[in-house]
Structure 1
Amino acid sequence: MNNKALKVLEFDKIKAEIAKYLITTRGKTLLKKLMPMSVESIVQRLIDQTKDGADIIRIKGEIPVRKLADLHDEANRLKKDGNLNGTELAAIGQVLKNTSELKEFFEDLKDDQVDLRQLYHLNDDLIDNPKLTKLLARSLDETGRVLDTASEDLKYIRNHIGKLNDQIRQTMNQFTRGKNTKYLTEPIVTLRDDRFVIPVKTEYKTRFGGVVHDQSASGQTLYVEPQAVVGLNNQLHEAQVSERSEENRILNNLSNLVRPEINEIVKNNEVLAQFDLINAKAKYAKEIKATEPIISDDHTVDLYNAKHPLIDPDKVVANDIKMGNGYKTMLITGPNTGGKTITMKTLGLIQLMAQAGLFIPAREESEVAVFDEVFVDIGDEQSIEQNLSTFSSHMDNIINIIHKVSEHSLVLIDELGAGTDPQEGAAIAIAILEKLSVSKCYIMATTHYPELKIYAYNAPDTINASMEFDDESLKPTYRLLIGIPGASNAFNIVARLGMDRSVVDRGQALMDGESQDLNNMIADLEDRRKEFEQKNDQLKIQLDKNKGVQKEYEKKRDDLDKSKNSEIQASKVRANQIVAKAKKESDKIIDQLHKMQRDGVAVKEDQIIAAKTGLKNLHQDDSVKKNRVLRRNKRRQQLKVGDHVKSLQYDQIGTIVRKDKNDQFEVQLGILKMKFAADELEKVKNVEPEPEKKPTMVKRTKSSGLSSKLDLRGKRYEEAMSELDSYIDSALLAGYNQVTIVHGFGTGVIRKGVTNYLRRNPRVKSFGYAPASSGGSGATIVDL
């Protein structure tokens, strides 16, 4: 996009708002380079990235990017065989650490089945280096200070320095307490030349022996290193030299380890900067309540409730702006300060934002086109250097536009033809529009010339538009009216402001007939528009009522269909039960006859008749009889407290002891009480009473053979979940009140599975991650 359009439409102010949300140095550099793109695939990719960022902000809060430095200077020094200091290596460590964090973050999003369009692919560009990451984290803190854990030698040296410091301070304290304080100007221990000294009065400089390192400005105080600590200070100095030497060795070693990996680390930093910029774009979209722009298939612009993003949201007026569907040129007319220029800037800026991959301040489902260029001629840009008038400056700009415009360009011209004689200005304006129209570009222009209103009415692919004006309040409403030209409203304004009526009448009489007819036509169109809007509002109300009635009807129809299907299904179940029982009875009768035949027993006539009668009774043709059987079978299977039932799930027989308000039956199965639905139980008859047993004392004790901790690390998901289920059952039977499940960190799959299982298990009272000293989020403590 040309710089003039970016400047006039104030695209840099949008970038300044986005910059408030950036935290990385490279992210700020990328924002400076952010420009509207003219290739549709690139624009869609940038929009998809912002959409992913907005989804992550909604679900997770934000993408966890750290405050990172630009590593190009460090990379150049390493490539020239130079070494880095602690601060520079710590900055590299932060990039590596953030890389690992983002890798894990996006793996968790995948586990949670969060759909993203682009950012999973962008995350794949990050190259993790866990070994180097851990080494830098163990060696340096975030400020670049070398840690004791960087090497055993450094740890030993610093421990030795600590002991020497303690010895020196203990010795020095002898001089700052008791009777020795009278020889000091102050009873303190301080440092001079990295050595511990005391402030001694000048007249007592030989009192403590040792070395004088400094004196005060007045000459009344000497800073003396007492002879008693000279040897200790010498040892301390040597230890400090050894410390610096070991630190330099560690930093040089780390530099050598980072050197071969620096290209990948710099690439990681660039990807992290992209995530930072995506985060910032998404946060800005949330702040201004922007929505995802849709790239239209037919190169049209269709914006709903579009607002200028740089105007106070409590004051800005939203407008529907449409171009490309039936017309490519829009001429906006109306009174001054009515909002014509702001409407034009709103269209231009929203297009720039969308083509830069930003969300737009418009209602959802708004469509944008992808223009190869946006040309603007807005504002008074008189050129003093070129000695051009306002009119000449505008014409010079428009001539440049005419030479560069294409059918995929958007041209925005404010006050077309203004700055010269009105009749000539209108003529040249029409000629310019005709010339631009040859290229089939998209044009939005503002004007006051009535001739251009007539031109827009007659020219193909051209439409009139205006900014609404309230005649009652004499104030603009800033609403864009497409299809209706605007009037200047000069006579109405001056009349309502108190101008003498004779002056108003004389002014109207001086207008030529064509202009008068045009204003009358505009007034008539405005009246018709208001009438249409009123009727349209009434139709919308009626339509909403009709939709409500239709929705209620469809709901009742769906409920009826569900009820019918439910009855059919229930009938099928009951029929299947009857058939199964009939088959069971018939098989029993036939088996008895076969047995009698095999045993050589003569089958008597009355037995044969009885068997035939039994088989015949199984066949129920009469509907009344069938219904009676169904009712009797239903009564027989109806469950109540005290019935003996069989659990179909566990194949165990128990007794119903209670029925709750949710129609669940509580069944005593041995020593356990469990709840079942009616279809999970089968009524049984003639349960043989159990032989009387001696009373048995059952005491629940904690099993000495069961550990209070279950380790699932290294297990496959299915194996881990099976072990977890068995372990919880065992822990309950063992009487444990609390157990620990160790699942580690890993990819998070096992941890998520453990959480889901514990949330579903009714025997689990509560659970949460272990304290940091006991594994942190790598283990979960469960209260049973």
Structure 2
Amino acid sequence: MIAERALKTLEFDKVRAQVAEFCTSSLGKQQIEKLVPETDFEKVGELLKEMDEGLAILRVKGHVPMGGIFDIRPHVKRAQIGGMLSAMELMEISSTIRASRILRNFIEEIEEKEEIQIPHFIERKNQLPVLTALQHEIDECIDENGAVLDSASVELRNIRQQLRSAEARVRQKLDSLVRGPGAAKMLSDTIITIRNDRYVIPVKQEYRSYYGGIVHDQSSSGQTLFIEPESVVQINNEIQRLKVREKAEIEKILSALSAKVREAASDLLVLVNILGDIDAILAKAKYGAKNKCTKPAVNNEGYLRLIQARHPLIPIEKAVPNTIEFGREITAIVITGPNTGGKTVTLKTVGLCTLMAQAGLPIPASDGSELSVFRQVFADIGDEQSIEQSLSTFSSHMVNIVGILNQFDEHSLILFDELGAGTDPQEGAALAISILDEVVGRGARVMATTHYPELKAYAYNRKGVINASVEFDIETLSPTYRLLIGVPGRSNAFEISKRLGLKDSIINRAKSFTGTDRREVESMIASLEESRRKAEQDAEEAHEILLEAQKLHDELEEKLNEWNIKKESLENKAKEKARHIIENAKKEAEQIIKELREMQQNANRVIKEHELIEAKKRLEDILPEENPILKKQAKIRERAQNLQPGDEVKVLSFGQKGTLIEKASEHEWVVQIGMLKMKIDESDLEYVAPEKEKQAVKLTTVKNRNPHVKWELDLRGERLEDAILKTEKYLDDALLANYSRVTIIHGKGTGALRQGIHEYLRKHKRVRSFRLGEAGEGGLGVTIVELK
């Protein structure tokens, strides 16, 4: 279990509070409030899978019916010990059972349609107890407002009918009194009211003897008396007796229902726990969808790769994303740089993302991120000064560090903020280096921040350690909060001073006071930064070219394989057909020869002319007819002799379609295949006849095309939620432009973006059909959409 100190230091409780806001019941909130990171690799994997199923359900369905769920555990436990539940408590039990039934039907509908794969939700659905009978029994007696219905029993219906009749008689008698002659004079107000559960009228003090009866109350001034007239005393007595009987009958009904709850107590507790689990899972998914989080892959090898990760407690619009990777060859990162540059935020981002993933929460990072499951996470971050213990900042840090060094192992993640700070710089730097050596030497993963310049050279002399820094913009004199891996931080004091107007003479004098070694190190760092920027730019360009080349290579290889398989199949079929033709021809020829020989041997028989003609015709019929497909191909080859620029052709060796650009030489053409232009020998080209229907569609589309709407939409690098919004707008624009076909580029990647786009297209009313692109269209990286 992860230490509570690390959870508090990294503010994991604040993340829990944010997730709890997305719960729809107190059951789910209680689950989230108890949420802690797991340390078992298999358990973490299952938590993330079920959370991802929740994200898929929300993406496809938009919501999950979770209303009407109450925490009925106290009611059930009281029923278990023989207590009688109130009507309101029984109503809450019925409502919770009804909510579980609605949720079960919702999950079963998804399961039947097979829209998405949700095995964890289906497993929980199967575990939900079916308590419909108990719900119906309660609903027959209790309404949705927690009141006992007349239909709860025959006795209760009779009692209430009598009660309503008696109350009507009382009101009738009292109504005749308040409307009688002189009533306006003798009554304070012409109304009927209730005192002590009995019907009374407000009489002025001086007329009390006129009505007689019983005085139940008086006004604060004493001028008005609330009198029960003698004429209604008996009827009011009857009403009280009926109310006593009503109460007894209601208690009898509630006791019977409480007994039913007691019988189903264990099932009800199971049902409540499962509903709480589902509510908590969906709260995680809703949090992820709201904050543009993703499900990370997990490993058990200490490897971390966060792509464009943000601090989860910083608003999205303010957070600066960073990509951080280490844990294999590199097991430690030392971050140097000035204060307020974002070093501490970087540490907390790594720590919090790790804790969130191990708790089954999505992380604020891009698709493709990966985190390790650690047995322990340690964090020494912030001002640790302790007034109560009379410890300085340095002493408090050291107490914490000593505790970490006594507990960590190779399966730990350790985060040090300002390692060695608060003491003599030379001694502090030496201690920092020694502590890092100890942690790295024992195989833990560590990130540390420091001010000490001695640690800038640390990574160059230690295997498995790399420098990093937070970028500083000299132009704006402010940090960019962008993490630079592989480059140590450098002092910007001289540059900042110069930008602020300090004289060059003063700055040059100051530089002369710094040692030669320091100036060389600063110069080396500046050179490294410049080299890094250029290397990043070159690497990005090379990566794009490599991806395009690899894409084309894969598509051509796939087509070539398909062509070879098809060619081999056709050859085998042709050989088999030819064999049958030859065998049949041989048999027929042998039969004809046999018949002719018999005619020749029969000397007494004259062979007639028509018999010879018939035998000759039979021999000619043995020859196979010319294949109409071969005829058509011959015509196409004949047409290929007169190819023209703009003709559509098929490159036989690639199996790709292309367009003729121009004649390269006597027997070569320049052919455009997708984005590529290449010279192809005329013998390798096959003319493709145009289809009139396609030409008509193309002409209509071009005629009505909106020049501001492109034929394709590029979604590479987009998050799924943003990609779906862009796809929705693009399809609207394409329909207005009267397009019948468009292309959506989503790339190959992990396939998550492609799957999400396909799920959205299936539900779009104006999408006729869609398919993955062919080799010449982009292959698995694009989707071709036909619009209605």
TM-score (norm 2): 0.71
Q: Is the 8 A contact 1:197 1:223 kept in 2?
A: yes
Q: Secondary structure at the match of 2:226?
A: strand
Within 2, Cα distance between the matches of 1:626 and 1:513? 84
Q: Secondary structure at the match of 1:468?
A: strand
Deviations 1:219-273 (A, max 9, x none): 2212222334333323322222221111100011111122122122112111111
Report the counterpart of residue 505 of structure 1 in structure 2: 508
Report the counterpart of residue 157 of structure 1 in structure 2: 159
Deviation at 1:82, TM superposition (A): 2.3
Within 2, Cα distance between the matches of 1:624 and 1:399? 88
Report the counterpart of residue 585 of structure 2 in structure 1: none
Report the counterpart of residue 705 of structure 2 in structure 1: none
Match of 1:430 among 411, 428, 433: 433
Match of 2:421 among 418, 422, 440: 418
Deviation at 1:48, TM superposition (A): 1.5
Match of 2:291 among 265, 288, 293: 288
Q: Is the 8 A contact 2:344 2:417 kept in 1?
A: yes
Within 1, Cα distance between the matches of 2:391 and 2:451? 23
Report the counterpart of residue 109 of structure 1 in structure 2: 110
Deviation at 1:567, TM superposition (A): 11
Match of 2:481 among 468, 478, 497: 478
Report the counterpart of residue 55 of structure 2 in structure 1: 54
CA distance 1:394–1:530, change in 2 (3 Å): same
Q: Is the 8 A contact 2:374 2:413 kept in 1?
A: yes
Q: Is the 8 A contact 1:53 1:62 kept in 2?
A: no
Q: Secondary structure at the match of 1:207?
A: helix
Deviation at 1:106, TM superposition (A): 2.3
Within 2, Cα distance between the matches of 1:411 and 1:299? 12
Deviation at 1:18, TM superposition (A): 1.1
2:131 pairs with 1:129: yes
Q: Is the 8 A contact 2:76 2:268 kept in 1?
A: no
Deviations 1:322-377 (A, max 9, x none): 12121111100112211111011100000010011100000112100011111111
CA distance 1:461–1:563, change in 2 (3 Å): closer
Q: Is the 8 A contact 1:378 1:413 kept in 2?
A: yes
Within 2, Cα distance between the matches of 1:191 and 1:626? 102
The residue correspondences of 1:212-611 to structure 2 (distance < 5 A) are 212-296=215-299, 298-540=301-543, 542-543=545-546, 546=549
The residue correspondences of 1:628-667 to structure 2 (distance < 5 A) are none
Match of 2:147 among 142, 145, 148: 145
Deviation at 1:157, TM superposition (A): 2.3
Q: Secondary structure at the match of 2:177?
A: coil
CA distance 1:167–1:456, change in 2 (3 Å): same
Within 1, Cα distance between the matches of 2:626 and 2:286? 70
For 2:140, give the aligned amino acid: R
Deviates more, 1:257-266 or 1:200-209: 200-209
2:20 pairs with 1:19: yes
Deviates more, 1:88-97 or 1:604-613: 604-613
Identity of aligned residues (%): 41
Deviates more, 1:19-28 or 1:285-294: 19-28
Q: Secondary structure at the match of 1:106?
A: helix
Q: Secondary structure at the match of 1:159?
A: helix
Report the counterpart of residue 89 of structure 1 in structure 2: 90
Deviates more, 1:35-44 or 1:136-145: 136-145
For 2:416, give the aligned amino acid: I
For 1:232, give the aligned amino acid: I
Within 2, Cα distance between the matches of 1:295 and 1:205? 87
Report the counterpart of residue 756 of structure 1 in structure 2: none
Within 1, Cα distance between the matches of 2:628 and 2:392? 106
Within 1, Cα distance between the matches of 2:557 and 2:233? 98
For 1:111, give the aligned amino acid: E
Match of 1:166 among 163, 168, 190: 168
Within 1, Cα distance between the matches of 2:403 and 2:629? 94
Within 2, Cα distance between the matches of 1:544 and 1:431? 44
CA distance 1:46–1:627, change in 2 (3 Å): closer
The residue correspondences of 1:694-709 to structure 2 (distance < 5 A) are none
For 1:484, give the aligned amino acid: V
Deviation at 1:498, TM superposition (A): 1.7
Deviates more, 1:137-146 or 1:605-614: 605-614
Q: Is the 8 A contact 1:48 1:117 kept in 2?
A: no
CA distance 1:614–1:43, change in 2 (3 Å): same
CA distance 1:530–1:145, change in 2 (3 Å): same
Q: Which ranges in structure 1 are unaligned for 5 or more consecutive residues?
A: 579-603, 631-660, 663-758, 760-784
Deviations 1:261-310 (A, max 9, x none): 21221121111111111111111111101100110253300110000011
CA distance 1:565–1:163, change in 2 (3 Å): farther
Deviation at 1:565, TM superposition (A): 12
Q: Is the 8 A contact 2:337 2:491 kept in 1?
A: yes
Report the counterpart of residue 664 of structure 2 in structure 1: none
Deviation at 1:612, TM superposition (A): 5.8
For 2:245, give the aligned amino acid: S
Q: Which ranges in structure 2 are unaligned for 5 or more consecutive residues?
A: 582-606, 634-692, 695-764, 766-788
Q: Secondary structure at the match of 1:529?
A: helix
Within 1, Cα distance between the matches of 2:48 and 2:548? 38
Deviates more, 1:242-251 or 1:295-304: 295-304
CA distance 1:606–1:174, change in 2 (3 Å): farther
Over the residues paired in the alignment, what is the CA RMSD in angstroms? 3.8
Q: How many residues are aligned here?
A: 617
Deviation at 1:618, TM superposition (A): 5.4
CA distance 1:606–1:406, change in 2 (3 Å): same
Deviates more, 1:210-219 or 1:525-534: 210-219
Report the counterpart of residue 649 of structure 2 in structure 1: none
For 1:329, give the aligned amino acid: A
For 1:377, give the aligned amino acid: D
Report the counterpart of residue 29 of structure 1 in structure 2: 30
Within 2, Cα distance between the matches of 1:566 and 1:187? 104
2:177 pairs with 1:175: yes
Within 2, Cα distance between the matches of 1:626 and 1:518? 77
Q: Secondary structure at the match of 2:199?
A: strand
Deviation at 1:489, TM superposition (A): 1.2
Deviates more, 1:373-382 or 1:297-306: 297-306
Q: Is the 8 A contact 1:175 1:181 kept in 2?
A: no
Deviation at 1:12, TM superposition (A): 0.7
Report the counterpart of residue 66 of structure 2 in structure 1: 65
CA distance 1:89–1:629, change in 2 (3 Å): closer
CA distance 1:60–1:615, change in 2 (3 Å): same
Q: Secondary structure at the match of 2:406?
A: helix
Within 1, Cα distance between the matches of 2:617 and 2:178? 118
Within 1, Cα distance between the matches of 2:386 and 2:532? 43
Within 1, Cα distance between the matches of 2:572 and 2:190? 98
For 1:412, give the aligned amino acid: L
Within 1, Cα distance between the matches of 2:301 and 2:201? 86
Q: Secondary structure at the match of 2:178?
A: coil
Q: Secondary structure at the match of 1:295?
A: strand
Deviates more, 1:93-102 or 1:340-349: 93-102
Q: Is the 8 A contact 1:23 1:67 kept in 2?
A: no
Q: Is the 8 A contact 1:53 1:63 kept in 2?
A: no
Report the counterpart of residue 43 of structure 2 in structure 1: 42
Report the counterpart of residue 666 of structure 1 in structure 2: none
Deviates more, 1:525-534 or 1:614-623: 614-623
Q: Secondary structure at the match of 2:423?
A: coil
Report the counterpart of residue 6 of structure 2 in structure 1: 5
Within 1, Cα distance between the matches of 2:15 and 2:131? 37
